Structures are given as structure tokens and as C-alpha cells.
Amino acid sequence: MLVLVQLTDRDGRRYQNHLAIDLSKVTEGAAKEDVVSTFSAFVTPGEYGVWTALYDTTTGEHCVKQEKLEVSPLRNDPLPGAWRDLPPVEFLPLAEPPDSWYEPSVSGRLRLPLETRNPVRIDVVLNLTPSEYMSDSAETRSRNLSVLIPALKAISDLGAAGAPLSVELVDLSRHRVAFRQDRVRDLDWPAIKQALAPAGSESIDLKSLEGRRLDAAFFVREVGRVLGATHDEPSRVLVILSAPVAFDSGEDLHPIALDPSPGRRVFYIRCHAPPHRAILDRDGLPPPPGFSGARRRGLAPRSPADLADFDQLESTLKPLAPRVFDVQTAEDFRKAMAGVLAGIESLGSHTEGK
């Protein structure tokens, strides 16, 4: 049986997808249950015709349903032209993490209106490590990365806009830079995917375990190294992507030993993972004890506002006077991106005036 879907935009262009179900392999028990087929797509604002169809290739039986889909534009969109060059519809293939976070098959780029009169270098530092008290939970790490990796992909489009852009992923638990790429136009996703494997692992080497209290100090040193690197561009921008981080008691939380500079901007985009949802088994019962690290340790999930209060990365950056954006939704991230762009443009103008 074929399941087919088609979207048609106002210009008559068609976007199609399908899947096939081999009925000979359906068990007798499954044959008595409903079958749900899901297609996911990125769709830009507009009006669309939607056709869905079922077709049995053996009997010729079929059915077709036609509907209308209207996608409203965002209200008070801070980046009204960002989707201008994207195709109206992009179907997403079935994928598992981490590919489902990055969507490597989606090649469209955001149009980011970056205009500077002077050269500006942009560095992006993404923290792979969640808070200490949740760092042994693979579920928490996965939820964090499901927000951070798409954010990184969007920000990387600044490289295509002509700004010198460098990206690095830091693993605070292991005190290492897991990935670095300079002069980014297209992120090296295969290399990033390989770098994510140790960060998603439950294991950690003994040396890193013994030095866990140096996590904050490692972060401060790495930020200082990035900002202190010598480059030709007179203006520097640092964008930090991270979930809120609370370290263990006794952690060295000395802030960075750098002062604000008129030729430098620091932005901290603090991304809050989706709230934890209880997972039920097929009988509607909660999973057995020990299902996740958070439940084993009796830790109740906290609200994003609570986590922001406990975040200790911000305090280590305080001497740099960072602009902090708390991101809980896609709209929040869009506003954060607009704020970063405005800050970069003002930096370029300010530098020329100096």
C-alpha cells in the first residue's frame, strides 16, 4: 500500500513525498490496529493545497483527500526576510539523532541581513556539557543537543553572508575542544557528528573524572583564548551557545580576566531544552524505576526560569558585559538572532567612528 502526500503552492509548484507499506509483512495483530503515517516538512508562510492518497497496488483500491493549508506569517517578525531564499516546502526524511537535529538534507540558507562597514570576525562556542548534576543523563544531553545543534546550523549561515566565522564545540566534562572549524561557509557535519559521539557517551575517562571541578576554569580559559587570538579583523564577536549550567559545589568560578572592549561584543544565547515529558509504555503505565538518570537520583525537572537562576556560566562572563538571550521557543531564538545581528552591525559602525 502506498501512502502519498502532495503540497502545491500558489504558483502551482508541487512538492511530493510517499512511503510504502508491505502488507504481506503485517502481522495479524497489527492488522486490527490503526496505522498512522507521518510526514514532516518545513513550510514557509503562504497558502497551499494538500492532497493525501492511499493506493493498494494489488487490488487497485484507492482514496484521495484534498484540503487547504494556510500558514500565517509571524507577527512582528524580527527577521522578515530570513526565509526569502528558502523553498516553500522541504520534506524531512526519517532520521535518528544526531541527523534529526541537524537535518543534513536541508540545504536552504537563511538570508541574514548582515551589513558592516568594517571587517568583523565572529566566533561561535557551543558547550556540549549540561549541568553537573545532570551530566550522567544521556536523555538530558540529547534534549540539550536537540536545541543547540539546530541553533548552531542557523547561526552558521552568517558565514555564507560574508563574515569570517569560526565554530568550536567544547566538552567541559573532558576538558577538550571536541571540534573546531575556521572560515565556515558550510559546517563540516560528518566531523561534528563524529565529535558528538563521545559527548553522548555515558563513560568518561578517569583523568577527566578526577578533574571535573576544573570544568568552569576550562571554559573561562577557552573563552579567553578565543577572544585573545590575533586576527586581522579589528572587531570581534563571540557568540556562546549553551544550556544553563550549574557546577558542583567547590567549583572554581573565578570570572574571566578580560575587560569589555569597544571593539568586541559577547552574546550568550542560553538555550533551554524542551521540558521533560513522562514516557508511558504501550499499556499506559509509567516506565519502571531507573528508566533515566534524573529519576534514579530523584531530581524533579526544573522550569527554564529556575534553571536561568542557577546558571553559573553567565557569572564567569560578567567582566565581558555579555548580552544574554534566554531561548525557550523558536520565536525566542529568532529574536536572539536579530539582536546578535543588530549588535554586530553597531560594532562595525562604532569601530569606524573610532
Q: How confident is the model at residue 352 (pLDDT cuts 50, 70, 90)?
A: very low
Which of 2-16, 194-208, 307-321, 336-350 is the least confident region?
A: 194-208
Least confident of 64-68, 71-75, 234-238: 234-238
Residue 184's pLDDT band, with cuts at 50, 70 and 90, is very high
**CATH class held by domain 112-276+292-353:** alpha beta
Q: Is 162 left (phi over 0), alpha (psi -120 to 50) or beta?
A: left
Instruction: Round to whole Å and give the CA distance between 258 and 264.
Output: 11
- Residue 299's pLDDT is 39
Tens of pLDDT, residues 113-163 = 787 777 888 999 999 987 755 555 678 888 899 999 999 999 999 987 777
Classified as helix, coil or strand, 338 is helix
Whether the CB-CB separation of 77 and 129 falls below 8 Å is answered with no
What 3-state class would DSSP assign to 245? coil
Taking the whole predicted model, whether its pTM rises above 0.85 is answered as no
- Res 242 pLDDT > 90: yes
Where do the structural domains in the chain lie, given as residue ranges? Answer: 2-79+88-92, 112-276+292-353
Q: How far apart are CA 151 and CA 3, in angstroms?
A: 32
- For the chain, what percent of residues have pLDDT higher than 70? 80
* 266-295 confidence digits (pLDDT tens): 999 999 987 655 443 334 444 333 333 333
> Which residues touch 205 (CB under 8 Å, ≥6 apart)?
174
Residue labelled with grid coordinates 538570508:
111
Within 229-312, where are the H helices? 293-296, 304-310
Distance, in Å, from the CA atom of 15 to the CA atom of 13, rounded to the nearest integer, reads 7
> What is the model's pLDDT at position 240?
98
List pLDDT tens digits, range 218-235. Answer: 999 999 999 887 666 678
What was the pLDDT predicted at 176?
92
User: How much of the chain exceeds pLDDT 90, in percent?
Assistant: 54
Per-residue pLDDT for 7 more than 70? yes
169 pLDDT higher than 50: yes
In a 13 Å sphere around the CA of 108, the CA atoms on its Cβ side amount to 17
Question: Measuring CA to CA, how many Å separate 120 from each of 147, 337, 341, 344?
Answer: 27, 16, 12, 8
Which pLDDT score, from 0 to 100, does residue 283 have?
A: 40
Three cell numbers at 9? 503552492
**What pLDDT, on a 0 to 100 scale, did the predictor assign at position 167?**
97
Tens digit of pLDDT for each residue in 204-216?
454 544 545 548 8
- Determine the average pLDDT of the residues in 190-212: 66
Does residue 131 contact residue 246 with C-beta atoms inside 8 Å?
yes
Average the pLDDT over 7-33 and give the result. 89
Per the prediction, the chain carries an average pLDDT of 82
Is the distance from CB of 166 to CB of 124 less than 8 angstroms? yes
Let me know: does 316 contact 253? Beta carbons within 8 Å.
yes
> What whole-number distance in Å separates Cα of residue 123 and Cα of residue 155?
10
